[in-house]
């Protein structure tokens, strides 16, 4: 596996060499993307990727934690538990392009109403729309792993807490969740990896604007969406190399986040 990752890295590095030479360090710090003048800078797409993924992660973490507790603690068996598990598995199996249509027909009108209510331009599409859609796409992964971690908590610990006078809710918050926190965090980080690389669904609802913005109600773009939109029409070595350099940057960001996540999970598991 390590050999494969190294091979992918060097393949992207070699293919992006013309852009690395032409763009230099300003590729990471600038905010202009103009194929006409061969000016390629990645900051808007890095910010868009991180902003979209982190907002989606916050939303999905809250929902997945609630589902994990519900399925792993209160409804472990029975018809309702079976229905919930089946629904979560079905959500994980829906193709991303179908999620994109769900976003267009449901999330875009809802966000447009919110934008009108706060006085923002009523685009409908934008960073918030893609974040909401991403949250529901990554929810099954973190919820499933969280449920497994909750069910693995030894019953002796919970019974001891109850015998000492703790209520069921106190047992969940003070015994179950602290014991399962490393596994739950691992599920969250796995979801973040899925969110960073999601392409089709995000492309359909994010607005595909190449300008730098921190406004979650406005349109934006991600690194994966940029590659999907422009790779087929890229002409010239620098243009094509810049898109591959975007892919290399996305690969590096995903690798750093995964390594950092493993370090955090291992430290939390050791506490």
Rounded Cα–Cα distance for residues 219 and 101 (Å): 17
Query: 32 lies in a domain?
Result: no
CB 225 within 8 A of CB 202: yes
pLDDT in tens, 83-126: 888 888 888 788 888 999 999 999 999 999 999 999 888 889 99
Q: What confidence category does residue 267 fall into, taking pLDDT thresholds of 50, 70 and 90?
A: low
Query: 150 lies in a domain?
Result: yes
Query: 34 lies in a domain?
Result: no
pLDDT in tens, 136-162: 888 888 888 888 888 888 888 888 888
Q: Which residue has the tokens 């991403």?
A: 134
Give the DSSP H or E segment for 168. Answer: helix 168-171
Domain of 77: which CATH number?
1.10.3720.10
Considering only the C-alpha atoms of the chain, give the largest distance between any 2 of them, rounded to a whole number of Å: 72
Q: Quick one: DSSP state of residue 217?
A: T
Q: How many folded domains does the chain comprise?
A: 1
List, in sequence order, the alpha helices (H) in 30-154.
Answer: 43-69, 79-93, 96-102, 108-118, 127-151
Query: 92 lies in a domain?
Result: yes
CA dihedral (17, 18, 22, 25) in degrees, to 10, reads -20
Domain that holds residue 144: 2-25+39-270
Rounded Cα–Cα distance for residues 27 and 153 (Å): 48
Q: What is this structure's pTM?
A: 0.87
Which candidate, 175, 188, 184, places its Cα nearest to that of 149?
184
Query: 49 lies in a domain?
Result: yes
């Amino acid at each position: 596996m390590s050999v494969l990752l190294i091979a992918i890295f060097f393949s992207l590095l070699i293919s992006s060499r013309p852009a690395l030479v032409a763009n230099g360090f300003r590729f990471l710090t600038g905010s202009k993307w103009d194929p006409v003048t061969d000016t390629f800078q990645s900051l808007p797409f890095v910010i868009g990727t991180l902003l979209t993924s982190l907002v989606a992660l916050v939303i999905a973490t809250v929902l997945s934690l609630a589902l994990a507790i519900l399925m792993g603690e209160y409804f472990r068996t029975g018809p309702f538990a079976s229905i919930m598990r089946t629904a979560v598995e079905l959500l994980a199996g829906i193709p991303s392009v179908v999620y994109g249509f769900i976003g267009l027909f449901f999330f875009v009108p809802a966000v447009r109403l919110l934008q009108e209510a706060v006085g923002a331009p009523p685009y409908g599409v934008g960073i918030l729309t893609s974040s909401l859609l991403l949250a529901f796409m990554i929810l099954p992964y973190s919820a499933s792993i969280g449920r497994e971690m909750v069910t693995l908590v030894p019953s002796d610990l919970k019974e001891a807490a109850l015998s000492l006078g703790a209520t069921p809710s106190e047992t969940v918050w003070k015994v179950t969740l602290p014991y399962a926190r490393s596994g739950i965090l691992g599920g969250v980080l796995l979801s973040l990896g899925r969110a960073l690389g999601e392409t089709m669904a995000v492309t359909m609802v994010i607005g595909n604007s190449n300008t730098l913005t921190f406004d979650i109600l406005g349109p934006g773009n991600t690194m994966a969406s940029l590659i999907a939109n422009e790779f087929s029409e890229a002409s010239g070595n620098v243009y094509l190399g810049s898109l591959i350099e975007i892919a290399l940057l996305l690969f590096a960001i995903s690798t750093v986040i995964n390594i950092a996540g493993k370090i955090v999970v291992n430290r939390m598991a050791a506490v």
